[in-house]
Structure formats: structure tokens, C-alpha cells
Amino acid sequence: MSDKKPERRDFLFTASYAVGAVGVAAVVWPLVDQMNPDASVKALASTEVDVSSVKPGNTITVLWRGKPVFIRRRTQEEISEARSVKMEDLIHPEKDEDRAKDPEWLVMLGVCTHLGCVPLNDKGDYDGWFCPCHGSHYDTSGRIRKGPAPLNMEVPKYEFVNDNTIKIG
Amino acid sequence: MSDHEYTPTSKVGKWFNDRLPLLTLANHLTDYPTPKNLNYWWTFGGILTFCLITQIVTGLTLAMHYIAHADMAFESVEHIMRDVNYGWLIRYIHANGASMFFLAVYIHIFRSLFYGSYKSPREIIWIIGIIIYLLMMAAAFMGYVLPWGQMSFWGATVITNLFSAIPLVGEGIVTWLWGGYSVDNPTLTRFFTLHYLIPFLILGLVVLHIWALHVPGNNNPVGIDIKKPSKDTVPFHPYIVIKDGFALLMFMIVFAFFVFYSPNILGHADNYIEANPMVTPAHIVPEWYLLPFYAILRSVPDKLLGVVAMLSAILILAVLPWLDTSKIRSAVFRPLYKQFYWILVADVLILGYMGAMPAEGLYLLIARVATAYYFLHFLVILPVLGFKEKTLPIPLSITEPVLGGSTNLAMAKNKESLDK
């Protein structure tokens, strides 16, 4: 076959296959994309939370996009513990200053970055969170310190609308 | 099958068979020459067919009452249990049926490992079997999600999150699987759809599995090629049908014991609590039949490598016919392989136990050693053993060790002269 010179017919075959492939792809894509988040799911993009009743050392959990969000009002000890950690001791180095702009408030997705379980409050070897599923330990800044999780718990986009209200998303 | 000559006796039968040779097929299946030394480990193929049909029939009837919606699924399952006539029975058969299905498939797989049924010329049968096994795991996992209890929800979360380990596209794939930003209603409806589809895919593959089996014919406990039909074979009907039927009855007693006396012993109490995305149960474990792979996942401290190890542990089985270099099929004539076989069985059981225990301390250490040994068995021991092992002499036919004669006279005479 290789010693044959390409003919008009070979060109026609190749062109037909190419057009056919484009056609199949155009039909398959809607069937694949229908599984992505739909408009009603995307519409639930932000949520506002009243945090006036949260005392230092307490955490509240709210649901945002079907996922729990931890809002913790940290104590002075927890803040100083989180800020005194050396970067080289971290699996996923992030400064506490970047994770909690207002040091008193830590807002993050309460989702373990290993396989998505909800870690438990005030547990584990680093005074922060402990995931019961596969044993990941997080510190008081929600950073991964020990266990199979590869990343720190994610800090979502959020802002203080006023002194008592946080808007997530 | 192609060399099969069959003419129906009745005129109508002949007329029909000339147009669609279904009667030829039926005749092939009843006359199918089967090795006469098949033991009870060979009855699990029939038992598995029974399990598949049971799951399809009970599944269809449950689907008439189940509602695939995050707000109603849990309640509709309770409705099936309390209100629907015999709903409790059908659901318990379906739920325990999944466990019985896996129990039978594990015996079926380990029978194949012992007697070398995966070796040439039966590689395609084996690979189709592994694909069926993978589909079974997918179907079981998705089915477990449908009652929308706590274990359903968090099992779904953990398993779908396995895909997030894929670099770059992982998160996108997980969102696509969920149809949202967490496991929710869109996830439930698609899982129900796929859970309904997969058993029929399995049914199709079972037909191919049996078709591929009928080309070379059954392997047997001695593991030698036999002449078919000959003194070494018996017709499938009535000999094997009766034996399979008896084994099936015994199996159904075990099945019925679970359904009627301890229908929840193989499940988790947490799944009678409705799904709550805010709280993960303190101790989440998969169903017993997935525990060995779960232990492998947890024994690797890295997320991506853990997932890779777990998937490899299953997929390595697909290339087993080429990893096992020994030409002798049956472990009966492989004194060393026989020992390693039982070590592997123990290793898998240990992995299963460790998968149910918390991943810490001594449990984790044992799970790691057992994981390493699992791969060592397939990647090092099996390939090397084929070259190093001194195997025992194999008989020339199934009848030879019993009657001294062989269906293959020339070979028997040749052997006699060698013995002298």
C-alpha cells in the first residue's frame, strides 16, 4: 500500500472520514455536556451568612453549593499557632495571612482535599481538623499537615458585607 | 459450533430451524461435551447466571416503586420496606443478592486462578470475565447510592473524588460526574440510569463469555487438553445440569439464610440515616466485597499513587495470562504455585480485613506489607515461577490415572515405552 501513489480516491476517503469525525463529535458533545452543572445549579452561586452569634473558639457550618463551609472565629492562641508555623514544615505551603485576611475569621470549604469527606472540628494532632475517612490532619489554619490529602482546605471567595455578615461566593 | 450437524425431527421444527437455527443452538447446549471430572468449584458459572437473573428481576420490580430524587429516594425505600406488598422481601433479596453475586464471582475467579483456566487458549474468556467483574463493581457501587442514606452519600463522594486525583482535568471530571459542585440530585438520577443499564451490558457480556468458552470448551481440574467428545467428556445435559442444579440449591440455602435471618448483617447501620451533606459518618467503609481494594488505596500515602495502585490491582488481572509463564495449567501439578496460590488467598483476605479497620498503626503497616505482596505475586513470583518450578508429570487424559487407559492411544503407548 505504501508504494502506491496517493490518488483522488484516497483524498476522497480521507476527506469523508474527517467530515464524518467532525459530525460524530458535534453529536456526541451535547450528550456529554448535558452532564455538566446545569443553569439552576450554577444559579446558586452565592450565599450570605450572619455570623454575629459566633463566639471565639466556635465554628459554624453552612451549606454553599451543596458543600459545607466552615466559618471559625479563632482564638488568639489558634492564630498565633497558625502564624508561627515554618513554611518548610508544610505539605502545601500557604501563609496563614493569605488564608485569613481578618485573622479572627477563618472561612474555608469543609471538604477534605483527599476524597471529599467533612473533617471533624477540634480534632487531630494539630489542634485543627481531622478527617475520619482516611486520617488527614489539618492545623488551625486548615492546612494539611499529615495524612493522604494533598492540599490545604480550600478558601472560597468571600467578603464581609458588614460587620456581622459574610457573603460566600 | 460451526461443525454442528443437527436436523430437528418434526416438520415444523425443521421449517423453523432452516430459517433461524435456534434448535441447533439448543442442541449444541444440551450435547455440549464437558470434561467428566469437573468438581463443584465449576458450578459457580451457573450460580452466577442465577445471581444475575435474580438481580435483574428484583431490580425491575423495585424500580416500579423507587423514586430517584434526592428529596424522595430515602423515603421511597422505606415505603418499599413498609408499604409495598412483599417490598421488604424483594429489597432484601436485591441487597443481599449483590453480596451473594460477589461471593460467587470471587469463588469463580479463584477457581480460575487455581486451575489456570485463564491460560491459552482461554485468555479472551478471562478478559471478558474481568470486564464483567469491573461492571459488577460499578453497578454495585451505584446501586448502593440509590437509597440515599449516609453511607450512600459519602460512599458516592469518596469514590467519585477518586477521579480528582487525575492531574489537571481531575476536578473538571468530578464536577461533570456530579452534575454540580457536590453529590446531589443530578448525581442520583444519573446513577439510577446507569445502575439500570449496566446489568443488561453484563448480560450481553455473559453471552460472549459463554460463547468464548464453548470454542475451546471447559478447562478441568487436571488442566490438560482433552479430545471432545470422547471417554473424557459427558454431555452437558443431564450430567452437568443436575450437578449445577444441586450446587445452586445449596447456594440458595446460604442466600436464603442471609435474606431471612440476617438481612442487614452485610450492610451498614449508617445507611438507615438519610443523607446529610454536612456530616460525614465517623467510620466510613465500603461494602465487604470492595474492602481489599480499599485497603490498597489507603495503604499508599499519596493521593494519585493510591488511586493508581488500587486500579492497577484490578487491571493487573487482565494481563494475568501473560504474567503467568508456566505452561502447566492446574495447580495440582505445580507444587510451588499451589503454595503461593494459598498465600495469595490469605493475602487478599488480610487486605479485606485491613480495609475494614481504621487506617492507622499496626493495621496500616500490615495493609502496606499485604499490598506489596499482592503486586509481588503477580509481577515477580508468577513470571519467575514459570521458569524455575519443577512441575509434576501430567496425565495424558482424564481417564488415564483412574483406568490406566487413554483416549489417545498413540500418546498412551508412547508413555508406556517411556516408563519402561
| B170–A contact, CB cutoff 8 A | no
The answer to whether the Cβ–Cβ distance between A133 and B154 falls below 8 Å is yes
The answer to whether the Cβ–Cβ distance between A117 and B154 falls below 8 Å is yes
The verdict on B18 and B52 lying in the same domain is: no
The verdict on B126 and B2 lying in the same domain is: no
- Domain-embedded: residue B379: no
Interval A11-32 mean pLDDT = 96
Chain A nearest-CA distance from B327, in A, is 39
- What integer pLDDT is reported at residue A1 of this predicted model? 53
Sign for the pseudo-dihedral over CA of A64, A67, A68, A73: negative
Which residues 6+ apart lie within 8 Å of B147 measured at CB? B73, B74, B77, B271
Residue B389, C-alpha cell as written in the block = 518450578
Residues of B in contact with A147 (CB under 8 A): 301
Residue A22, C-alpha cell as written in the block = 467532525
Element (H, E) at B348: helix B335-356
- Domain-embedded: residue B219: yes
Task: State which of B255, B284, B313 marks the end of a domain.
Answer: B284
Q: B277 and A67 in contact (C-beta within 8 Å)?
A: yes
pLDDT in tens, A89-119: 898 999 888 898 888 899 999 999 988 889 9
| B276–A contact, CB cutoff 8 A | no
Give CA B87 to chain center in angstroms.
27
Residue A137 annotated among the catalytic residues of the structure: no
The verdict on B139 and B49 lying in the same domain is: yes
Q: Tell me which of A134, A137, A168 to substitute to probe the interface with B (most B C-beta atoms closer than 10 Å).
A: A134
- The whole-angstrom separation of Cα A126 and Cα A124 is 6
The answer to whether the Cβ–Cβ distance between A41 and B359 falls below 8 Å is no
Q: How far is CA A114 from CA A71, A136, A163, B139, B260, in A?
A: 20, 8, 34, 24, 39
- Domain-embedded: residue B325: no
Nearest CA in chain B to A133: B284
Chain B nearest-CA distance from A111, in A, is 10
The verdict on B100 and B231 lying in the same domain is: yes
The answer to whether the Cβ–Cβ distance between A133 and B182 falls below 8 Å is no
The verdict on B7 and B129 lying in the same domain is: no
- Domain-embedded: residue B193: yes
pLDDT in tens, A27-46: 999 999 999 999 988 887 78
Longest distance between any two alpha carbons in chain B, whole Å: 80
Residues of A with CB under 8 A from a CB of B: 32, 35-38, 41, 61, 63, 65-68, 114-119, 131-135, 147-150
- The whole-angstrom separation of Cα B387 and Cα B305 is 31
The Cβ of residue B10 has, within 10 Å, a number of other Cβ atoms equal to: 10
Task: State which of B265, B284, B303 marks the end of a domain.
Answer: B284
Residue A112, C-alpha cell as written in the block = 477534605
The verdict on B5 and B105 lying in the same domain is: no
Residues of A in contact with B183 (CB under 8 A): 66
Q: B132 and B206 in contact (C-beta within 8 Å)?
A: yes
Task: State which of B222, B257, B284 marks the end of a domain.
Answer: B284
The verdict on B5 and B120 lying in the same domain is: no
- Domain-embedded: residue B71: yes
Residues of B in contact with A115 (CB under 8 A): 157-159, 161-162, 164
What is the Cβ-side half-sphere exposure of residue B280, based on CA atoms within 13 angstroms? 28
Name the amino acid, one letter, at B29.
L
Residue B45, C-alpha cell as written in the block = 458459572
The answer to whether the Cβ–Cβ distance between A65 and B306 falls below 8 Å is no
The verdict on B4 and B104 lying in the same domain is: no
CA dihedral B106→B109→B114→B116, nearest 10 degrees, is 180
The verdict on B55 and B132 lying in the same domain is: yes
Nearest CA in chain A to B304: A150
The answer to whether the Cβ–Cβ distance between A67 and B182 falls below 8 Å is yes
- Domain-embedded: residue B418: no
For chains A and B, count residue pairs whose Cβ atoms are closer than 8 Å. Answer: 88
- Domain-embedded: residue B159: yes
CATH classification of the domain holding B45: 1.20.810.10
The verdict on B63 and B27 lying in the same domain is: no
Out of B186, B280, B360, the one facing A135 most closely (by C-beta) is: B360
| Domain count of the fold of chain B | 2
Give 10-residue mean pLDDT values along chain B (420 residues). 74 96 94 95 98 98 97 97 97 98 98 97 98 97 97 92 90 93 94 98 98 96 91 94 97 98 94 92 88 93 90 96 96 96 98 89 94 98 95 88 58 52
The verdict on B77 and B111 lying in the same domain is: yes
The structure's pTM equals 0.89
The verdict on B105 and B173 lying in the same domain is: yes
Q: Buried b vs exposed e over B199-217: b needs ≥16 C-beta within 10 Å?
A: beebeeebeebeebbeeeb
Chain A nearest-CA distance from B128, in A, is 26
- At A138, is the pLDDT very low, low, confident or very high (cuts 50, 70, 90)? very high
Domain that holds residue B11: 1-31
- Domain-embedded: residue B113: yes
Out of B280, B300, B304, the one facing A118 most closely (by C-beta) is: B280
- What integer pLDDT is reported at residue B1 of this predicted model? 43
